[in-house]
Chains A and B, each alone.
Chain A
C-alpha cells in the first residue's frame, strides 16, 4: 500500500519538476511547482511528518508560490521564453554533464554502500507517530532550539524590511517616511506616490524612475 502511494507521489513530484524545467510560460512553471510541492507534502505524510506536510502546503505552496505569481504579474515576464536557442555556447552540455554526474554519483553512493545509508544516532528527541508529531516538534523547537527560532524570527523580519527597501521606487532624494494623515481619501494617496512605502506589496503602475 505504501509502495503504491509512494510511486504515485513520486510520479507527481517528478512530473511537476519536469514541468518546471520545460514550461515556457512562467505561470505554467509556477503551477507545476505547486504540483511538485504537493507531491512532496504527500511524501512527508507517508513518513509521519504531518506538521511539515501542512507547513509545506500552507507556506510553500500557499505563500511562496503566490509571491512568485505576484511578481510574474507585476513584471510582465509572462512572455514565453524561447527554449530552442541557447545563447551561451556549451551551457546545455555542461548542464547535462553536471546533472548526470550528480545523479550518478548520488545513486552510486546509495547503491554501492553495503549496509545502506546510516548515520549516527541523533541526540534529538525520538520520533513519535503521526499524531504526536506536532507536539513533539513544538516541544523540541521551543526548548532545545528556542534561540534558533528567535533568530529565524529576526531573519524573517530583516528579509521583509530588506525586500521593501530593495523594491521601492526612488525618485529624487529620499523623502522621509511620511506620517499617514487621513485627511482626504480622494487625494492621490494610493496611486503610485513616490516615497510612500506600501508594506503589503510593491506599488505598480508607471514605469518611470529608477529602482532602488
Chain B
C-alpha cells in the first residue's frame, strides 16, 4: 500500500482532536500545556506532509518557526504557572477563578 498524504493528514487530525479533548478535560495546568504541544505537533505533521506533497520547502520552514515559537511559549507559560501555583500544592486550574463575573 502506498502511503498517501491523506494518511498523514488523517493521523494529524486524530492527534489534533485528541489534544483538544485533553485540553478541555484535564485540570492540571502542566498536562494542559502538554496537550497544546500535541496539537502543535499535529499541525507540524500537516505542514510537513503537505510540503512534501507539493514539493515545497515552505512546509518545513513553517515547522521550524512553529517549533521556535512553541518552545518560547512553553517557557513563558511555565514561568507564569510557577508564579501562580507555587503557593499551594496540588492546585488545579479550577482554583484560579478570580476573573469570575
Contacts and interface: CB of A to CB of B under 8 A. Distances in A.
B48 A44 contact: yes
Given A64-B37, A137-B61, A155 B89 contact: no
Interface size grouping (class) on chain B: 35 or more
Contacts of B92: 81
Interface residues of A, number: 91
Q: Is the interface of B mostly helix, strand, loop or mixed?
A: helix
A26 B82 contact: no
A20 B34 CA distance: 8
Contacts of B11: 10, 13-14, 43
Interface in A66-82: 67-68, 71-72, 74-77, 79, 81
Interface of B: 1-11, 13-22, 24-31, 33-35, 37-38, 41, 44-45, 48-61, 63-65, 67-76, 78-87, 89-92, 94
Interface of A: 2-3, 6, 10, 13-14, 17-18, 20-21, 23, 26, 29-30, 33, 36-37, 40, 43-44, 46-49, 51-52, 55-56, 59-60, 63-64, 67-68, 71-72, 74-77, 79, 81, 86-88, 91-92, 94-96, 98-100, 102-103, 106-107, 110-111, 116-117, 119, 121-127, 133, 136-137, 140-141, 145, 148, 152, 155-156, 158-160, 162-164, 166-167, 202, 207, 211-212
